[in-house]
Amino acid sequence: MGDGYRRTILLTGARLLCGWAFIAVGVLDLVTGFQTGSYLLFHLVLLAGGLLLLQKPLRPRAYAAIAVLALLSTFVAAWPRNEQACCLRGVEVRHGYPLTVLGWSHGRSAVVAPAHVVADLAFWFLVWLTVSFVISKAGGGRSATDNSVPPSTGAPVARDESVGGLP
């Protein structure tokens, strides 16, 4: 067993464990209830994203692009003011979507919620994973999840010369 085999096993195991964990959290959150529409969306994204992680894996570059988009989305989503008082209740001004990641009260220092930042990163990662899945299915062509070898690599290609299934 080489290092490539171990790396494949670790990455596949991590992807499947994360997929099942997101499904479990999404289902648990939906069963126990939700407060607002944004949290319903949050739970549905966890559920759908978890299901997508159990599917055929993407190429590493696709995961890297999705991770960069998730990081940028988390940063951009932290700019608008959030009026929901669910998170960081002790502060007057809240920022972040879907969870409050930054808040402060006038005359006091800012408060960052690291757990909310991680949850937002996961949320936006799963959103972009879902978007890439929808685009790949709608495109109809070769997708980022297609790991098959193209015929142009020099491998012999069997051609079916029959018409209508007859030899």
Considering the domain boundaries, does residue 121 fall inside one? Answer: yes
* Rounded distance between C-alpha atoms, residue 146 and residue 63, angstroms: 14
64 residue type, one letter? A
The greatest distance separating any two alpha carbons of the chain, rounded to the nearest whole angstrom, comes to 84
Residue with tokens 């909310």: 116
* Rounded distance between C-alpha atoms, residue 43 and residue 134, angstroms: 19
Considering the domain boundaries, does residue 156 fall inside one? Answer: no
CA dihedral 128, 129, 135, 138 (to 10 degrees): -140
Nearest CA-CA partner of 74 in 25, 24, 126, 110: 126
Considering the domain boundaries, does residue 65 fall inside one? Answer: yes
Considering the domain boundaries, does residue 150 fall inside one? Answer: no
pLDDT tens for residues 57-108?
888 899 999 999 999 998 898 887 777 656 666 777 777 787 777 777 777 7
Under 8 Å CB-to-CB from 139, ≥6 apart: which residues?
none
Under 8 Å CB-to-CB from 78, ≥6 apart: which residues?
95, 96, 97, 101, 102, 120
Q: Which domain holds residue 11?
A: 3-137
Considering the domain boundaries, does residue 7 fall inside one? Answer: yes
Query: Could you tell me which residue, 121 or 141, shows the higher pLDDT?
Result: 121
**Given this model, what pLDDT does residue 140 score?**
67
Structure tokens at 104: 């402060």
- Per the structure, the count of domains in the chain is 1
Considering the domain boundaries, does residue 33 fall inside one? Answer: yes
Considering the domain boundaries, does residue 164 fall inside one? Answer: no
Considering the domain boundaries, does residue 167 fall inside one? Answer: no
pLDDT tens for residues 108-130?
777 777 888 898 999 999 999 99
